[in-house]
């Protein structure tokens, strides 16, 4: 056997040189790192503004708001670190954007303790559905177009509000929309909301519209004491669990399978429930498989198939850091002009709104149930302390069942 002097490349025989050429020098896999950065930006731009709007509408204190952000970003980030390393697949975790968009409309009807209790109930539902393996059968009871129409009805007011405030601050609006359009057209894999945030923030600073509030001293988040109520379970727990399953976990698992991975479905749903329970203890609504972020990290552009899980790990590390320093981010974000926050929230929800409307009305057989569901969700109706989302689902399912009955 030839002896090789690896310090001298010219001394290697042809066979060893061929092997070394194939292996190459150890390189940092840049594609997974880039995909992980894009995935993290998706969670750290628009969703933050919507979360802050939900906290403001519910009357949360700054400390409660920071605890909420810490919980969802740190636990969601840990989900993205632990499970990809465990299963070697690019499953990415975060909190649910559609879930927090829904909470923005209903959180004000309940106390902070009741919301924590509702989050725990929702997480327990996810955990049990994962352990038993029946989540797919339960989700099948609610037609997909009905779920999509409910979500569209809840999101539409935020998008409309963004359009309304654009006329109040033309300078900010033009800069923000320009940033969104440029990234949407030429930004390749960057989320357009990131371009809107950068340009909008720059315009706000130049126009002297930023008024950051006082800083919040960092403290270790403490467990929150829950309060349980039937109305909160019906209005928050059930819709939140349905939204997480239908708009985050199911698309995420589907993305993994579409790119050739074989995700352990029951385990990932169970872990979503377990991480969500831990998140709820600190005041967060959930931490679960993230649909769009998983799709980004599982895509072929994230590098070789065997290294794509590193994209999820990268995303998770960035989310953990963002959550740890949320005490510094919240006062700054709260100091941004209210019209800018509303506009950014509306822009970040354009894609979810478009996807929801397309899914709601793509099948002509469910047009009437989807219209009924959308109208009730849009109305923000509240009966017996139960929010519009529940009544929208009930009405949509009832109409769908009546339509299926033979005449």
Tens of pLDDT, residues 217-228: 666 778 889 999
Instruction: Check pLDDT > 80 for residue 91.
Output: yes
Q: What is the pLDDT of residue 313?
A: 96
Evaluate whether 94 touches 275 at the Cβ level (below 8 Å).
Answer: no
Q: Is the pLDDT confidence value at 407 over 70?
A: no
Look at 153-157, 172-176, 370-374 and tell me which has the smallest mean pLDDT: 153-157
Q: How far apart are CA 373 and CA 386, in angstroms?
A: 15
CB neighbours of residue 155 within 10 Å: 29
Quick check: is 342 in a domain?
no
User: Comparing 25 with 264, which gets the higher pLDDT?
Assistant: 264
Distance separating alpha carbons of residues 263 and 256, to the nearest angstrom: 7
φ/ψ region of 308 (left if φ > 0, alpha if ψ in -120 to 50, else beta) reads alpha
Task: Name the region of 303 (left: φ>0; alpha: ψ -120 to 50; beta: rest).
Answer: left
Domain span including residue 82: 30-172+210-336+351-404
**Cβ distance 301 to 35 under 8 Å?**
yes
User: In the predicted model, is pLDDT for residue 57 greater than 70?
Assistant: yes
In angstroms, the CA 257 to CA 275 distance is 22
pLDDT at 136: 62
Q: Which of 234, 286, 232 has the alpha carbon at shortest distance from 390?
A: 234
DSSP H helices in 9-143:
14-23, 30-44, 46-58, 62-87, 97-106, 112-132, 135-139
SS3 289: strand
Is the residue at 11 inside a domain?
Answer: no
pLDDT average, residue stretch 192-210: 80
Residue 148 within a domain: yes
Domain assignment of residue 51, yes or no? yes
Residue 16 — pLDDT band, cuts 50, 70, 90?
Answer: very low
pLDDT at residue 281, as a whole number: 94
CB 373 within 8 A of CB 404: no
Mean pLDDT of 203-221: 69
Residue 81 has pLDDT above 80, yes or no: yes
Q: What is the mean pLDDT of the chain?
A: 81
Q: What is the pLDDT of residues 235-284, one digit of tens each?
A: 899 989 988 887 788 778 877 877 888 888 889 999 999 999 999 999 99
Cα–Cα dist 149/243, whole Å: 12
pTM of the model: 0.69
Please indicate, yes or no, if residue 10 is contained in any of the structural domains. Answer: no
Per-residue pLDDT band at 194 (split at 50, 70, 90): confident
- Mean pLDDT for 182-195 is 78
Q: Specify the DSSP element, H or E, that contains 204.
A: helix 192-206
Most distant CA pair in the chain: distance in Å?
85
Tell me what pLDDT residue 385 has: 55
- Give domain status of residue 5, yes or no: no
**Averaged pLDDT, 353-377:** 88
pLDDT value, residue 406: 61
Q: Which two tokens stand for residue 151?
A: 């979500």
Rg (Cα) of the chain, in Å, rounded? 23
Domains in the chain, number: 1
pLDDT in tens, 330-348: 667 667 777 887 787 778 6
Q: Please indicate, yes or no, if residue 13 is contained in any of the structural domains.
A: no
Residue 389 lies in a domain: yes
Has residue 328 got a pLDDT over 90? no
């Amino acid at each position: 056997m030839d002896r090789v002097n690896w310090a001298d490349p010219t001394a290697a025989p042809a066979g060893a040189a061929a092997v070394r050429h194939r292996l190459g020098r150890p390189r940092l896999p840049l594609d997974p790192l880039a995909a992980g950065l894009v995935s993290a930006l998706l969670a750290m731009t628009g969703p933050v503004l919507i979360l802050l709007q939900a906290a403001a509408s519910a009357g949360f204190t700054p400390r409660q708001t920071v605890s909420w952000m810490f919980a969802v970003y740190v636990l969601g980030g840990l989900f993205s670190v632990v499970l990809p390393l465990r299963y070697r697949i690019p499953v990415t975790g975060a909190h649910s954007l559609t879930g927090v968009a829904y909470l923005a409309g209903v959180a004000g009807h309940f106390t902070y303790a009741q919301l924590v209790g509702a989050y725990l109930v929702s997480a327990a539902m996810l955990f049990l559905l994962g352990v038993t393996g029946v989540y797919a059968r339960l989700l099948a009871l609610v037609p997909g177009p009905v779920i999509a129409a409910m979500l569209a009805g809840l999101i539409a007011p935020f998008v409309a509000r963004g359009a309304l405030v654009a006329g109040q601050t033309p300078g900010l609006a033009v800069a923000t929309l320009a940033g969104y359009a440029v990234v949407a057209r030429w930004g390749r894999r960057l989320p357009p909301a990131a371009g809107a945030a950068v340009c909008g923030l720059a315009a706000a600073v130049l126009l002297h519209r930023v008024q950051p509030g006082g800083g919040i001293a960092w403290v270790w988040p403490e467990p929150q004491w829950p309060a349980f109520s039937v109305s909160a379970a019906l209005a928050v727990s059930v819709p939140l669990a349905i939204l997480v399953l239908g708009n985050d976990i199911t698309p995420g698992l589907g993305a993994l399978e579409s790119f050739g991975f074989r995700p352990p479905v029951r385990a990932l749903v169970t872990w979503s429930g377990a991480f969500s329970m831990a998140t709820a203890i600190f005041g967060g609504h959930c931490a679960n498989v993230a649909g769009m972020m998983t799709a980004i990290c599982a895509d072929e552009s994230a590098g070789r198939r065997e290294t794509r899980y590193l994209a999820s790990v990268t995303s998770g590390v960035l989310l953990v850091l963002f959550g740890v320093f949320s005490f510094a981010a919240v006062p700054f974000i709260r100091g941004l002009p209210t019209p800018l926050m509303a506009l950014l929230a509306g822009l970040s929800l354009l894609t979810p709104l478009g996807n929801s409307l397309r899914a709601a009305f793509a099948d002509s057989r469910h047009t009437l149930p989807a219209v009924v569901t959308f109208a009730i969700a849009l109305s923000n109706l509240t009966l017996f302390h139960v929010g519009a989302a529940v009544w929208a689902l009930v009405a949509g399912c009832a109409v769908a069942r009546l339509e299926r009955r033979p005449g």
